[in-house]
Structure 1
Amino acid sequence: MNPQSLASRAPEFAAWLDEHAEPIDTRQDLAAQILPQLGRAQLLRLGVPIDLGGLGGTTVDAIEAIANVAAHSLAAAFVFWGQRTFIEYLLHSPNEGLRTRWLPPLLSGELAGATGLSNAMKYLSSLEPLQMNATPLDNSGDIGQWTLNGSLPWITNLRREGFLAAAAFDHSDGAPPSIFALPYDAPGLTRSDDLDLIALRSSNTAALRLDAAVLDASWQITDDARGFLLRVRPAFLGLQCGMSIGLARRSLAAVDGASAASRAAVEEDAADLLNALAVLSQRLFDGVQRGTFLATPAALFEVRIALAALADAAVRLEVQTTGGRGYLRGQSGCARRTREAAFVPIVTPSIVQLKNQLAQHRQTQAA
């Protein structure tokens, strides 16, 4: 896929995003429509093996697809990221029954997949403890059961029409942490009202709480959370980087479409950003494709940090070339992209958290 391919691959979806990008960002009433639109456009199947209902290809194809959606709406791309990342979890899960049962409605966009593993990713990097706890019940039967408790304050794609949410749990009996898929209708599971975000308001972002919910092993994505997280982290962060790539591409395209005088004033800056974007994108694609980020996560952290900074710089350059027109409602998407760019650094793991991780990594290397 290339940066302009969403309109050619899914013209109706691209047109719908362009028409509704502003209300998707500022209101919550379109939240139910984004996922079905992604499903009808067949974008959720990219990078998924054909024998599992996908269109084939690799994770890089999914990253490009998220970038292409982000060029139209970062809120829609955020939903896409959550859904596609949860799909990635099932692709890596040893629980074949879970994958067989739930992958089809996830790929079609009928059911939402929410990646509640931001806390777990921070746990993996020793940034915070797990916030969820599992206590085994009498496991004398054929399949184990656990009582689950805890809360997660921020999860995207908790679609009210139905979702599965991934969450990692410490085990009270000393067993290694595991990851469960939490069904929206499980007794004891409560979804909060949507969080009062300043943007991306149709992303179905809310909090989850578990009070003595009981699930058995059929809902367990993995019984080895740490090993699993290490394997899926390149896809988790790589797919996330698609949002920065798409936002930067769209802002730089807007710069290119500005008046001749405006373009001339920032020509060198725009060329530098375009070149840096191409280099960073290729570095990301190569690392994900070849699997090198598995052994060198610091290199992936550096790419994520650099892409976030580049997206911010691209949007600021768009602000300069758009001028006063960007402050008039309905005249351009410049104001929306400014809000979107403000969100990129705080997506977990945040830029601050990644920079702290890199500093610790360098200290360890020096020692």
Structure 2
Amino acid sequence: MASKKKKVRVEMRRNLSKPPRENDVTRQFQDNGAHDVANTERVRAKGDASRHRTIMAEDAAAMPGTEGGWVRGRVVRVHGLYSYVELDDGRTVRCTVRRVLKSLQVDERSIVTTGDWVWVAAGGDALRGAEPEGVIERIDPRHGVLTRSSRRREHVLVANVDQLVIVMSLVQPELKVHLIDRYIASAEKGGLKPVLVLNKIDLADPVALQPLVGAYSQIGIPTILASAQTGVGVARLRAMLKDRATVFSGQSGVGKSSLLNAAEPGLSLRVSEVSDVNQKGKHTTTTAELIRLSFGGWVVDTPGVRQLQLWDTRPEEVEGYFSELRPFIALCRFPDCTHTHESDCRVKDAVRRKLVSGRRYYSYLGLFNGVEE
């Protein structure tokens, strides 16, 4: 039985909203103004309705089944125009995306991302493994996402994961503490449990790190001091990964792939050295890939990032991503207090009394003011 369809109003892509243009540019030099108006073509109509169009989409109530030719699977990686989907039977199918899905989402950089649960229409040969190709017809609702802003569009790095492992190196490249706080805010926004891993502990003084570790432990964030070279902290990391879906993220060169190789022997992910000139790593991981762990669970190794800008976040929302500020927010004199310049601000008072980390407060100010990190 054919699936039901319904009419859906979707936004026009921004580059299609053009101002009126003239059919004949030379007429602007003529004196007959009325004639000019008659020969003007309006590309954009009046009102909000002009920024939408109607398309036919599958009815969400008509859930497909295998008898209809659709099978469920999970996106393990996205490469160019193709998404690679692992079906329930273990086969991997190379898929394109139905065009109507792209029309429904105009703000996302890519409609499909690693970790998505999708429904695939594949031919008989594809299901038998003779020609592993198909078309993604539906994307299930997401939970647990890691996103960032990229060229004024939403870039979903991974979806449907439980926790975010923030990997930072103590040296080579140098530690960026404010980037950690941005990751924590992104985890809070996306519904992920943040875990902090400080790699290359063999190259630093562990005693000097105690204030930093204590500050994050105080707000309930597990912190692991690790070394992919010596194996320190790897056992604890494995325990955190077991039976969970996890995304690894951090700067290039911090050792994400090296830690995964240490936690899962035989994985053989590519690694590279950090430049001695600029202390920056190279992108050895070029695409996010979902990997099944032998001891239980899944992990996504993502390409390195150099900055993390939160997507679609208003300044007044930022305070909600700093859990240690919440007990003091309701005590502020003004209900719309921004905790930046107001008098009788209980958040600033808590910072002065060292009940809230001053460094974390400065991270809050950076996010509130939209400062890129």
Q: TM exceeds 0.5?
A: no
TM range (shorter): under 0.3
Larger Rg: 2
Q: Name the structure where strand makes up a greater proportion of residues.
A: 2
Q: Name the structure where helix makes up a greater proportion of residues.
A: 1
| TM-score, normalisation: structure 2 | 0.25
Structure number with higher relative contact order (C-alpha < 8 Å, ≥ 6 residues apart): 1
| TM-score, normalisation: structure 1 | 0.25
